[in-house]
Chains A and B, each alone.
Chain A
Amino acid sequence: MIENKNLGKLELYIHIPFCVQKCKYCDFLSAPASKQVQNAYMEALLSEIRGSAVPDRKVVSVFIGGGTPSVVDVEWILDVMEAIRNHYLLEEGAEVTMEVNPGTVTAKSLARYRAAGVNRLSIGCQSCHDAELSRIGRIHDHQAFLDTYRWAREAGFNNINVDLMSALPGQTLESLEDTLHKILSLVPPPEHISAYSLIVEEGTPFYEMQKRGELTLPDEDMEREMYWRTADILKKYRYEHYEISNYARESYQCRHNVGYWTRRDYLGFGIGAASLYENVRYKNADDLAAYIKNPLNCHTQIQKLGREEQMEEEMFLGLRLSLGVSGERFREIFGVSMWDIYWEQIRESVEEGLLEDDGRRIVLTKRGVDLANYVMAKFLL
């Protein structure tokens, strides 16, 4: 049978779809809601977590994301942690991440998350410039981020990610560099940095503004310049650029996300949450009311992955990582050579200067990273 180092391991994703106010670029499943709705949702979420237990699987990571999970009452997070502990085999030393946003936490709430077993925080900073923050509809200023960060350290979090964004309206190379330097001069600096580019998605306020010509964004060339400037600076500060948008100090890679890219099994709880379990992908329906009524049977888009689909995923997910796709692993999983299946695509991409092939693994070149989708699309069979 298929051999896989991920076998037997499981990740959990907990979706909390609430926030104080929707950011203008956000197309995630999230919205402001009353306490009453929040409470009803959290009850349902707990039922789903409890009712979906797979006790023989070792849970190696938990990610509580959103939305802004820190908008619901602290007790709910404690309950979530307890439900996980009671119904799953949470491995000793498992990575437990929670997303928080400045303006929704206090020193006290952070300490309680920590005490409940959350051991990694992901803080939405995005920019250290107040003008940029307000233009994208964030509810906090830079000072609020600094407070959050300090409280987090005081609460004992020694594994922190800071989310940053580039290609924001009005952002310049200088202001981006300034943001980076401000983050790098935090004491101690974050263990992990996610640096995303703003992408205008349909259905967001930015999308409408762009259509009306009211949104001026740094152009494509500037966006790339920002991207590589970020990479250069972070490299100097000993962050490894281990994935297209992610940087980490040694041994602080986000295990949960690496799990996604290496196709480890994961269960997603909450509306709209995606799961991969024994090569079946599915998603929870995103209807809040229906979920609250019946949180256990809302799986949709159930798709059994065939062998080819698994191969495609192995490639386009693996190529996001700086380690690339391993020929050895490919053979272990599929019993055939990656070069037999993808000879044409690999040769062509290498000729185009987008891929490096050292005979053991294939990795995107710098130009390949810029054109990642172009390369990845080729690997769809």
Chain B
Amino acid sequence: MASIDQSKIRNFCIVAHIDHGKSTLADRIIEKTGLLTSREMQAQVLDNMDLERERGITIKAQSVRTVYRAKDGEEYIFNLIDTPGHVDFNYEVSRSLAACDGAILVVDAAQGIEAQTLANVYLALDHDLDVFPVINKIDLPSAEPQRVIEEIEDVIGIEAQDAPLISAKNGINIEEVLEQIVTKIPAPKGSSDNPLQALIFDSLYDSYKGVIIFCRIMEGTVKKGTNIRMMATGAVEEVVEVGYFGAGQFIPCEELSAGMVGYITASIKNVKDTAVGDTVTDNDRPCDKPLPGYKKVQSMVYCGMYPADGAKYPDLRDALEKLQLNDASLNYEPETSIALGFGFRCGFLGLLHLEIIQERLEREYNLDLVTTAPGVIYKVHKTNGEVIELTNPSNLPDPSVIEFMEEPIVSAEIMVTSEFIGSIMELCQERRGRYLGMEYIEGTRALLKYDLPLNEIIYDFFDALKSRSRGYASFDYDIKGYEESKLVKLDILINREEVDALSFIVHADSAYERGRKMCEKLKDEIPRHLFEIPIQAAVGGKVIARETVKAMRKDVLAKCYGGDITRKKKLLEKQKEGKKRMRQIGNVEIPQKAFMSVLKLDDRK
């Protein structure tokens, strides 16, 4: 392949608030640059996992290279790097941004700036990207492009008067966006003669090629046979293949040089060796120092995952192993629960990440799972000076040897229209939020700033936020650090037996409330048995709440089914089948969904 003129490359990404049309615009860009015919276009080309399609969000970073013939008659290579769109994946977002030279900011012409718009655009500016705005959905009846343009200039402080007014969905004005990519986004810098320095912004596992590293070459050149070294993990391998990203496929090429975006394969067996944010260099001619900004990805949220059918434990282990090949931020270790048997304690970036993994396990691996209440990592300072990082509430040491405990705190920004400020502040109060301040973005909208304990937002905060603002509030957060907190372990006893899988850590002040709600919820979930079942919540052996599942009074069909015996039998079979899906705790059978249903306790719906 002839060497590529660096000045004709544009590496960029698209940033937006969720649902403002990022993926649709990406599709249009790919379509208009002509690499694909309309027929080949799936609804959204970049999001290629089913789950992403359904949830309408991008989970893994994706990239595509297209060729655009601009009005100046020159051909430009566009490397569009799609970034994950959720706060759980903030670190991945920041690495993807680092691989770009510029960004398109998509703002919904009706909704204007939202919390994630701000978070993402600041992130892009932090990475010294040149950002130009695009106003999308101008064909909506409620579109107010001029207002949004002013808002962008006032709030973000970037020039927006000549922002293309487009409809990505209906393909209006996409040409204008393409031209501005050429004129407003700078060409990459760097020299192909320097020692190799490439940034890993994603990687995935392929069963034929091994790990495929997605990278941006900052300096130097890499080709087949280069001995590459991952500077943070230290792994060294010989390059088997390099190439770039067609739409949905890998296209091998001779070499990748400074300014280019592409992939490298090198028979690497584990994505753990190719951490996102790490720098790839030439082992024989290394660069002086790695690119800045690498950090080890930390799991923020933990929960226990158990196969509903204990015999499926090995299947669950295999499935997790396979998922981890592709997702370095997932980690797990075996654990045992008295209630649920053999399973795994799994760590995730956030609750969404957790839900995605859970769904993939259930869907792609056909596993029926029982998940315990998600929790965060608490730091337990013991009287002997030892500090434990607690991920499983069952492992909390005896209170007598605990000096104090700390919990993770996030800085949260919530954008909300003024009519809902009161109810959102109330919600944050309930969740032990510390009010930091409020800024009006314009007449009717405000940005609320709170410090919130992470464990208060991981379950259902987002749902509660949406339901209390009729869907209008948007939310973003950053991990701030650890703070000392008065925490206790809340235990649940069913028929006087402690159920380890239902224990969780909670702030002392909300223990009573949470305990009471747990008991109420469980009372509804546990079917009546032949005997009465007390359900108790206890802290340190002291019962703080109680409910009772009354003994079963009736389970009979005093009805005439005539001669349709088959129907009657089906009913009995269903009943018997239902029993199989129960967990036996002592002599009480608990439905699997009881373990999950207790997670959502906000009753102001």
**Which A positions have Cβ atoms within 8 angstroms of B?**
13, 65, 194-197, 199, 220-221, 223-224, 227, 244-245, 260, 266, 268, 273-276, 281, 283, 301, 303, 312-313, 316-317, 352, 369-374, 376-378, 380
Contact = CB atoms under 8 A, between A and B. Distances in A.
A268 B567 CA distance: 15
B504 to A, nearest CB: 32
Interface residues of B, number: 23
Given A224-B553, A377-B572, A196 B560 contact: yes
Contact of A274 (B552, B558, B563): B563
B557 A373 contact: yes
Contacts of B43: none
Contacts of B569: 312-313, 316, 380
Contacts, number: 88
Interface string B394-408: 000000000000000
A355 B558 CA distance: 18
Contacts of B576: 377-378, 380
A199 B566 contact: no
Interface of B: 530, 552-560, 562-566, 568-569, 571-573, 575-576, 579
5 contacts: A196-B558, A274-B565, A303-B566, A371-B555, A373-B575
A197 B579 CA distance: 25
Contact of B556 (A260, A275, A301, A372): A372
Contacts of A260: 562-563, 565
A374 B553 contact: no
A269 to B, nearest CB: 11
B14 to A, nearest CB: 44
Contacts of A376: 572
Contact of A313 (B565, B573, B575): B565
Given A65-B562, A281-B566, A283-B566, A370 B556 contact: yes
A197 B562 CA distance: 15
B573 A244 contact: no
Given A224-B553, A371-B552, A377-B576, A273 B563 contact: yes
Contacts of B572: 316, 373, 376-377, 380
A317 B573 CA distance: 14
A223 B557 CA distance: 12
List the 8 closest pairs (A to B, CB-CB), nearest first: A372-B556, A197-B558, A274-B563, A377-B575, A377-B576, A377-B572, A274-B564, A245-B558
B552 A245 contact: no
Contacts of A268: 563
A127 to B, nearest CB: 15
Nearest to B531: A352
B552 A266 contact: no
A317 B553 contact: no
A370 B555 contact: yes
Contact of A199 (B552, B553, B557, B568): B557
A352 B573 CA distance: 21
Given A371-B530, A377-B575, A380-B573, A244 B558 contact: yes
B562 A369 contact: no
Contacts of B556: 244, 369-373
Given A301-B566, A316-B572, A377-B575, A196 B552 contact: no
Contacts of B559: 196-197, 199, 245
Contacts of B571: 373
A370 B566 contact: no
A372 B557 contact: yes
Contacts of A199: 557-559
Nearest to A201: B559
Contact of B555 (A197, A313, A374): A374
B554 A220 contact: yes
Given A244-B557, A380-B572, 7 more contacts: A194-B560, A196-B559, A227-B558, A274-B565, A301-B566, A370-B554, A373-B557
Contact of B562 (A13, A281, A312, A378): A13
Contacts of B579: 377
B555 A372 contact: yes
Nearest to B578: A377
B560 A13 contact: no
Contacts of B563: 13, 260, 266, 268, 273-276
B553 A220 contact: yes
Contact of A221 (B530, B553, B555, B557): B553
B530 A316 contact: no
Contacts of A374: 530, 552, 555, 575
Contacts of A227: 558
Contacts of A223: 554
Nearest to A163: B560
A35 to B, nearest CB: 26
A162 to B, nearest CB: 13
A303 B556 CA distance: 26
Contact of A283 (B554, B558, B564): B564
A126 B414 CA distance: 60
Contacts of B558: 195-197, 199, 227, 244-245
A194 to B, nearest CB: 7
A378 B557 CA distance: 16
B576 to A, nearest CB: 5
Contacts of B562: 13, 65, 260, 274
B212 to A, nearest CB: 50
Contacts of A373: 555-557, 571-572, 575
**Most chain A CB inside 10 Å of its own CB: which residue of B554, B566, B569:** B554
Contacts of B560: 194, 196, 245
B565 A276 contact: yes
Nearest to B572: A377
A244 B565 CA distance: 15
A244 to B, nearest CB: 6
Nearest to A375: B555
A207 B530 CA distance: 27
Nearest to A194: B560
Contact of A370 (B553, B564, B565, B575): B553
B556 to A, nearest CB: 4
A227 B559 CA distance: 12
B549 to A, nearest CB: 13
A220 B562 CA distance: 24
A366 B579 CA distance: 23
Given A196-B559, A281-B566, A303-B566, A224 B530 contact: no
Contacts of B568: 316
B588 to A, nearest CB: 15
Nearest to A281: B566
A148 B484 CA distance: 80
Contacts of A378: 576
Given A316-B572, A317-B565, A380-B576, A352 B530 contact: yes
Contacts of A273: 563
